[in-house]
A = this chain, B = another copy of it.
Amino acid sequence: MSRTAGSSGKKTQAAIREAGLDLIYAQGFDAMSLRQLAARVGLQPGSLYNHIATKQDLLYDLIHNHMVTLLERIDAELEGIEHPLDRLKAFIAFHLTYHIERKREVFIGSAELRSLEPRNRKKIVALRRAYEDRLSGILETGVAGKLFKIDDVAVSAYAILAMLTGICTWYDPKGRIGRRELIDIHTRLVLQGVLK
């Protein structure tokens, strides 16, 4: 046998990424075998290597992709908003929305950080740091403008991020609580903790 009719690199690549997200999210990176992945995509195990360099590379690609998108979108979201309070609100709303929509990516991006080789991990951590800086930047501006009262900006930024990211572990879009309501609750929680 050999190349299958109708096979296209783009499609297969996308299918591999999609199946990879699913499997890694459900079982973890180490627990997912390339044979499982290949079966899901409808390929023989060896054929995966026409599309990925190594298993490690697939993981890095998935996470890197996610982080770059996250940064691009938050910057697009904050563009043109000046007032620190509005920027903070926009950050909260975006963060929650994105984390609901890309649950798998977010989870993998934090849970499987340690499965990355040191070199790869460093790059991802730098991107994550850049994202965190978007929030602490807003907080600092707000403090400087005497809008916010914050004991420790760095710690508060971590605390807020942890709180917002936490929804990934329990939130069900089809459940009792709507997206708008979720954002409102969290916005109020954060603002009360931060406003002067």
Contacts and interface: CB of A to CB of B under 8 A. Distances in A.
Contact of A177 (B30, B152, B162): B152
Interface string A11-27: 00000000000000011
Contacts of A152: 177, 181, 185
Most B CB contacts (10 A, CB to CB) among A162, A182, A188 go to: A162
A39 interface: no
Interface in A135-176: 151-152, 155-156, 158-163, 165-167, 169-170
Interface residues of A, number: 35
Given A159-B189, A161-B166, A163-B162, A28 B30 contact: yes
12 contacts: A26-B114, A30-B30, A31-B115, A111-B111, A152-B181, A152-B185, A155-B177, A159-B163, A159-B167, A165-B166, A189-B193, A192-B193
Contacts of A155: 177, 182, 185-186
**Can you tell how many copies of this chain the complex includes?**
2
A159 B151 contact: no
Contacts of A162: 162-163, 165-167, 169
A184 interface: yes
Contact of A158 (B156, B170, B190): B170
A102 to B, nearest CB: 17
B189 A156 contact: yes
Contacts of A193: 188-190, 192-193
A28 B115 contact: yes
A46 to B, nearest CB: 23
